[in-house]
Amino acid sequence: MKPSRYSILIIPDNEDSDRQFSITRKQMLSLIISLILMLCIVVFFIAYALPKLMQYNAMEVENEKFAVERVKIMELMQDLNRIEQMDRLIRKTLGSELELSSVSVSNDSAWSESNQMRSDKNNAVSYVDNIPSKYPVEGYITQKIRIDKLFKNQNHYGIDIAVKEGEPVYASASGFVVYSGWTYNFGNYIILYHGDDYFSIYGHNKGNFVETRDFVKRGEVIATTGGTGISSGPHLHFEIWKNGKAVDPLELFPKYKQKDISVNNYE
C-alpha cells in the first residue's frame, strides 16, 4: 500500500530540537514535476535560447557596423549629389544660351582678340581678373583644405575663414554667377565661373547680393558673411576649382597663412 503522506525530519548538529515536515503524496508529485519542468527549462535555455541570444548579440554588433557604413555611404552620396548639382548648374548656365567667348581663356590669341574688343566693359574679363586674386574677406583660417581619397566623407574642399557676421564678401575674380541660392550644407551659396576653367565658391553667407547669370567684377561685394546652413558660427567657406580639381586657396592667397589658427596647423 502506497503511503498517503511523507515526513521530512531535520536533525541539527547542536542540541536544538528536531524539526519535522509532512507533505501529502500529491504535493510530493507536484514538487517532483516542478523540478523536472525547471530542469527542462534550463536544458532548453542552454541548448536553444542561449545560442539564439549569442546570435542576437552578434547581429546587434553587425547592425551597428552597418549603421556606421550607412552614414559613410550617405555622406558620400551627399558629396556626389553636390558634385552632380554643381555639374548640372554649370552645364545649364554655361550652355549654348551663354556666350563664353567674352570670358573663356582658351589660348593667348583668343585673349588678344578679346582685349582688343573691350568696348563693352560690363562683359569683358582680363587675363589678370580671370585668376582668383582678391581676398574675399579678412579673417582667420579655422579649417584648411583636406582631400583624402580613402576617407572621402572627411574631405573639405576649401578653407573656412572666421569673420564677424555681416562683413562684405568680395568676388575673388571677375566672372559669371553660375549659382546663387540655398543649399543644405552651406546655406546661402554662390558659385562664380571666371573662365579658363576657374571656379570660386562662397558658402554660409548671411545674404547673397547677386543672382544666377549675373556678371560680377573682381572685388565686387557679392554677399555678407554669416552662419547659414550647417555651421558652428559666422565664417566664410571659400573654395577654388581649376579643371575640375579643388585648388588650395592658401597657395593663391598666402597672406592667409599668417592668420592660420586651425587645429592641424599645430599638430
pLDDT band at 4 (very low <50, low <70, confident <90, very high): low
At 249, the pLDDT band (50, 70, 90 cuts) reads very high
Output the pLDDT for position 117: 43
- Contact between residue 131 and residue 105 where contact means Cβ atoms under 8 Å apart: no
What is the pLDDT, as a whole number, of residue 159? 96
Q: Which of 263, 266, 244, 227 is nearest to 144 (CA)?
A: 263
What are 226-237's pLDDT values in tens digits?
999 999 899 999
The set of residues, in sequence order, having a beta carbon less than 8 Å from that of 61 and lying 6+ positions away, is none
Of 59-63, 138-142, 256-260, give the lowest mean pLDDT range: 59-63
- Listed in sequence order, the residues at least 6 apart from 22 whose beta carbon sits closer than 8 Å to its beta carbon are 5, 6, 7, 8
pLDDT score, position 102: 42
Task: Count other C-beta atoms under 10 Å from residue 25's C-beta.
Answer: 12
Instruction: Check pLDDT > 60 for residue 59.
Output: yes
- Give me the pLDDT at residue 200, please: 95
Q: How far apart are CA 205 and CA 121, in angstroms?
A: 28
Query: How far is residue 128's CA from residue 252's CA, in Å, rounded to a whole number?
Result: 13
Question: Does the pLDDT at position 67 exceed 60?
Answer: yes
Residue 22 pLDDT > 60, yes or no?
Answer: yes
**According to the model, what pLDDT value does residue 107 have?**
42
The residue-averaged pLDDT of 6-22 equals 71
User: Residue 165 has what pLDDT?
Assistant: 96
Tens of pLDDT, residue by residue over 84-142, are: 666 666 666 555 444 444 444 344 444 344 444 443 444 444 556 789 999 999 999 99
Residue 218 and residue 176: Cα distance in Å, rounded? 11
How far apart, in Å, are the Cα atoms of 136 and each of 149, 232, 254? 28, 20, 13
* Extended strands (E) in the chain: 5-10, 19-24, 140-143, 159-162, 168-170, 175-183, 187-195, 198-208, 215-216, 221-225, 235-242, 245-247
Local confidence band at 248 (pLDDT 50, 70, 90 cut-offs):
very high
| Residue 161 burial (10 A CB sphere; 0-12, 13-18, 19+) | buried
pTM, entire model: 0.58
Q: What is the pLDDT of residue 114?
A: 43
For residue 221, what is its C-alpha cell?
A: 561685394
Mean of the per-residue pLDDT values of the chain: 79
Helix (H, G, I), strand (E, B), or coil: what is residue 36? helix
pLDDT interval class at 204 (50, 70, 90): very high
Identify the pLDDT of residue 265.
60
Q: What pLDDT, on a 0 to 100 scale, did the predictor assign at position 97?
A: 46
DSSP 226: B
Distance CA 86, CA 246 (A): 13
DSSP assignment of 84-107 equals HHHHHHHHHHTSTTS--TTT----
